[in-house]
Amino acid sequence: MSTATQTGSGRPRKVTPARASTGSHSTGSHSTGGRKPTPRSTTRDQVGAAGKKPARKKPAETATTLAPPAAAAFPEQAVPAAVPGPVSPEPAAETTSAVPPQSGADGPAPETKPGPDIDDAQEEQLVGFGFGAALAAVRSAAQLALREQRTLFEGLGGAAGELIRISQGNSEIEPAKADKRFTDAAWQSSRFLHRLMQAYLYLGERLDGAVDGLGLQGDSAGRARFAAGLIKDALSPTNSLVTNPEALRLAVATRGDSLRCGARNFIGDMRHNHGMPSQVDLSQFEVGKNLAATPGAVIYRSEVCELIQYAPQSATVHQRPLLVVPPQVNKYYALDLAPGRSMYEHLLKQGFQVFGMSWRNPTAEQRDWDMNTYASQVLDCIDVVREVSGSPDVNLMGGCLGGMTVAIVAALLTARADNRVNSVTMGVTLLDLETDAKILLFATPRSLAAAKRASELTGVVEGWELAEIFAWLRPNDLVWNYWVNNYLMGRKPPAFDILAWNADATRLSAAFLRQLLDIVSGNALAHPDSLTVLGTPIDLAAIRCDSFVVGGRTDHITPWQGCYRTTQMLSGNSQFVLCSSGHIQTVVATPDHPRLGYFTNPQTPADPEAWLAAAGRHDGSWWDHWADWLRERSGDIGPAPERLGTSAHPAGEAAPGTYIYQ
């Protein structure tokens, strides 16, 4: 791996002595048996300085969704690893900060005191993603700092003292172990670079303390910290050619050729990638060849989706089939990557009948597609699968937004006393949206009313716009890492199947986005009957079938504690499994991954941290554990079908179908 590779900024640390930091999360009330109580939650930004959550009024209903005004989008997007390898499956170890929170010899650290929240105009500047939005947010925070001048001057003596020690070469500040930006030997051997690194790390830590000292409350404080973090990450000396020693050495060694290649990469991204550094070399991949290559055939097609039946890969199969509902953002083949890395292939080899949906990529002509549209297609596909397999019911599986769709369909059928679904599996899925996901920090009425207006103008939200949002959630890994690799080093981005899937973005229809915003802002799925789909009020607590819920321990999009809350929202028997990796690597948990692991605990207490404390860790992939669970719910074993489809639903185009190419 290149020494310029950036895998996360971590936090700076002193060499001695180290003190471990701790933290914990808790949620919900304890289950009372039978129907599990829905965890109480509130609209974001309702938590005041006293920390009390006001009671929520039940939102009114419409034919689809009526919740309080809009909030943040809830799309699915991959979060791949830094160049050049896959997402690290284990969380980075926490390290001690360079600036201890207690008073020191050079004066007390800035004290964080409660204060008034920012006003509407300032809040508007703390909304959005990207470098421009971050600059606006920092300007807003600076205005607050001028009003609270004590924040600026507290601790300046300590800062000056540490900067003097840095200039004299007497500082002990070093990068956190998880920070891979400064691994080149020159950051230690060069006095200038070593002191520059120390000053950057120290001032970045001071910036965090200054933002905390502004007295912002709730999500406004989170937005300010996030914006300051964007600026801090952007100003890393590794992002500049003149202060990146590896890039300078390579430029000399190649007689400037690396710089010429970097310039070509930069111009290409300006023209073809909306100004963002490319994350993958797509030339090595072809859908249907080495991606989405599991054999099968389309047995049903509508205006909205295709349904693929996959060819058996065993002599006998379980009689109850599995229907997979993919998220509406990104193509379905995260579950069917390269041969040997496909969940579909893995299940087929173990004797499961697998059927998978593939959504059409909407255009402005499909601007009115909403949850009614998608739920009705899931119901239609369930009936097709039942007819083809001969089974009276099916097992359902969905990931992220697909998992939300699965939960809604299961609740809808339960309300209708319809038993077509035997069990549900939901991976990296948030149903109770009162959680600490970074994306939800920006769930303010103003910002998302603007998102609604923008989508109404075009009829869709473009996939590249969604991808850019998620890249800025982890700028060191997903922006600056590739900036250094592609532009300063002049290299190609890696050829990695997950990254290729991630780049194959899809659009969201305006109506569906509008519903998602309403679901998030009102936390509608955590409140019975707040959402109506296909004329049926949705109450997740009414779901009585067995459920299997999966979270990722380092997932920053759908934090695992939020995923865990699903076990408290459903009334059936729930099992939770925690994978040791992040968002998409949890889904693509191939059994041959050398460092992968997962945690299990048959009990589901209300507190997710209590669950984890009593859980056992296992090496390998949760796929096998899930397969054992699914096998018990997949019925008898019989001969595998000799052909795909039936006379009513004959096999058509070979998998992966046609919609995947849109």
Rounded-to-integer distance, Cα 318 and Cα 637, Å: 4
Dist CA 213 CA 208 (whole Å): 9
The pairing of beta strand 354-359 with beta strand 597-600? unpaired
Strand 322-325, strand 354-359: pairing: parallel
Interatomic CA distance for residues 453 and 514, integer angstroms? 9
Q: What ranges make up the beta strands (E) of 553-607?
A: 574-579, 597-600
Most distant CA atoms of the chain, gap in Å: 83
CA–CA dist 174, 156 (Å, integer): 21
Q: What is the dihedral of CA 281, 286, 289, 291, to 10 degrees?
A: 70
DSSP-assigned beta bridge partners for residue 395: 322, 423
Which residues are bridge partners to 298 per DSSP? 308
| CA-based nearest residue to 217, from 407, 90, 44 | 44
AA letter at 435: T
261, 305, 381, 400: the catalytic one is 400
**Euclidean distance between CA atoms 19 and 13, whole angstroms:** 10
8-state DSSP, 151: H
Token digits of residue 282: 């797509």
Run of H or E residues at 359: strand 354-359
Look up residue 412 and give its two tokens.
């809808």
Residue 579 a catalytic site member: no
- What b/e readout covers 413-447, taking b as 16+ CB neighbours within 10 angstroms? bbbeeeebbbbbbbbbbbbbbbbebbbbbbbbbeb
| DSSP line for 235-293 | T-GGGSGGG-HHHHHHHHHTTTHHHHHHHHHHHHHHHHSTTSPP---GGG--BTTTBS-
Cα 272 to chain centroid distance, Å, stands at: 25
318 and 636 Cβ atoms separated by less than 8 Å: yes
Q: Is residue 497 within 8 Å of 338, Cβ to Cβ?
A: yes
Taking the CA of residue 240 as centre, how many other CA atoms within 13 Å lie in the half-sphere pointing to its CB? 10
142's CB contacts (< 8 A; 6+ apart) are none
Beta bridge partners of 359: 305
Sort residue 217 into left (φ over 0), alpha (ψ -120 to 50) or beta: beta
Helix 371-389 to helix 401-415 angle (10° resolution) is 80
Residues ≥6 apart with Cβ < 8 Å to 147: none
As a whole number of angstroms, the distance between CA 290 and CA 300 comes to: 24
Output the six-digit token pair for 522.
């009102």
CA distance 118 to 214: 10
| Catalytic machinery residues | 400
